[in-house]
Amino acid sequence: DAGLEKTKTNFFEQLSKAVVGKNTVDEAVLDDLETLLVHADVGIDTTVKVIDRIEARVARDKYVNTSELDRILREEIVALLEDNKSGSTAVLDRAGSTGQPYVIMVVGVNGVGKTTTIGKLAHRFHSAGKTVVLGAADTFRAAAVDQLIIWGQRVGVPVVSHGMNTDPASVAYDAVQKGVEMGADVVIIDTAGRLHNKVNLMNELSKIKRVMQKVIPDAPHEVLLVLDGSTGQNAFLQAKEFTKATEVTALAITKLDGTARGGVVIGISDQFNIPVRYIGVGEKMTDLQLFDRHTFVNSLFK
Ligand code: GDP
């Protein structure tokens, strides 16, 4: 998997170094593995869980050969991800199945790749034959509105926009309304992510929700939080703040092509118990993958 090559190579090389000259998985090997996982941004809580699971296995099997360590590591991480909700159903399969547009509200701070992810998602749905409407409700930055319009043109889907500094809730309302009028399958709403003002953020997101519910009572069907996978602990902090501000139902983790720290995906989905739906592996329209825990863990630790 080309997109995740960097993450994979680094982890694999380091793991091999950690076990070189050793036959059996002992305390020292587990210590090294623990350090490796923390450096890969798995996060301390999740790392401890993974190490505990491997320790339990070593205790049970008495003797575990180091040559088996990466297989065991993979199995235990997949098992851990199975324990929480990170196994996901593709939104694509559900979109348009209810007769109403499937509304996705996209949240996240500036610079994480929110607009790009929306563009990629629009492309994904559009090329699967779905009708898509975008709503430019990140009215706080002129660039955000312009960029979304460019993405709309690139993909070939309409963008509802009232320009900069207009009421985001009103944009969201009109976009959902347009989706209904067009008989669209999916409506994707961009929002502003101003974390430095938590009360405003919370109010703005709940107002956007309230207003779209006047058109479709159970909207939004998905609140997708976009996180930059290369920012490690910052991504954890953002997840913490956004889950406090609104009910996040899924994650998209971007920029995993340029980082050796893909472990953040495991840590965040475990810690927040929110499914990772998509991963971003580049800047192009097609550089968005549906997250699958088996594929992901295999490409990380192969
Ligand atoms: P926003 O401010 O959150 O809307 O961020 P943008 O969508 O404008 O993205 C910020 C930068 O990150 C742009 O240069 C994007 O091309 C880049 N970007 C977004 N997603 C990815 C990704 O998955 N991989 C890489 N390498 N770059 C990305």
11-49 pLDDT tens trace: 767 778 878 888 888 899 999 999 988 888 888 999 999
ipTM comes to: 0.99
Q: What is the mean pLDDT of residues 257-277?
A: 83
DSSP 149-218: HHHHHHHT--EE---TTS-HHHHHHHHHHHHHHHT-SEEEEEE---TT-HHHHHHHHHHHHHHHTTTSTT
List, as residue ranges, the binding site for GTP: 108-115, 190-194, 254-257
**Given this model, what pLDDT does residue 197 score?**
77
Torsion sign across C-alpha atoms 14, 18, 19, 20: positive
142-158 pLDDT tens trace: 888 999 999 999 999 99
The residue written with tokens 């994904």 in the block is: 124
The torsion defined by the Cα of 172, 178, 181 and 185, in degrees rounded to 10, comes to -80
189 has pLDDT over 80: yes
**Given this model, what pLDDT does residue 87 score?**
40
How far is the centre of ligand 1, averaged over its atoms, from the C-alpha of 116 (Å)?
A: 6
The residue written with tokens 């996180």 in the block is: 227
Contact assessment for residue 251 and residue 269, using Cβ atoms and an 8 Å cutoff: yes
pLDDT above 70 covers a percentage of the chain that reads 88
**Given this model, what pLDDT does residue 95 score?**
56
Q: What is the pTM of this model?
A: 0.90
Within 6 Å (CB) of ligand 1, which residues are found?
Answer: 108, 110-116, 147, 254-255, 257-258, 280-283, 287
Nearest atom in ligand 1 to the alpha carbon of residue 226 is 3
Residue nearest to atom 19 of ligand 1 (CA): 113
Residue nearest to atom 26 of ligand 1 (CA): 282
**Given this model, what pLDDT does residue 302 score?**
47
10 has pLDDT over 50: yes
How far is the centre of ligand 1, averaged over its atoms, from the C-alpha of 246 (Å)?
A: 23
- Nearest Cα neighbor of 272 from 244, 296, 297 is 244
Q: What is the mean pLDDT of residues 244-256?
A: 92
How far is the centre of ligand 1, averaged over its atoms, from the C-alpha of 115 (Å)?
A: 7
Residue nearest to atom 5 of ligand 1 (CA): 113
**Given this model, what pLDDT does residue 200 score?**
85
104-122 pLDDT tens trace: 999 999 999 999 999 999 9
* Exposure of 140 in the CB half-sphere (CA atoms within 13 A): 12
Q: What is the mean pLDDT of residues 236-263?
A: 87
Q: Assign 80 a pLDDT band (cuts: 50, 70, 90).
A: confident
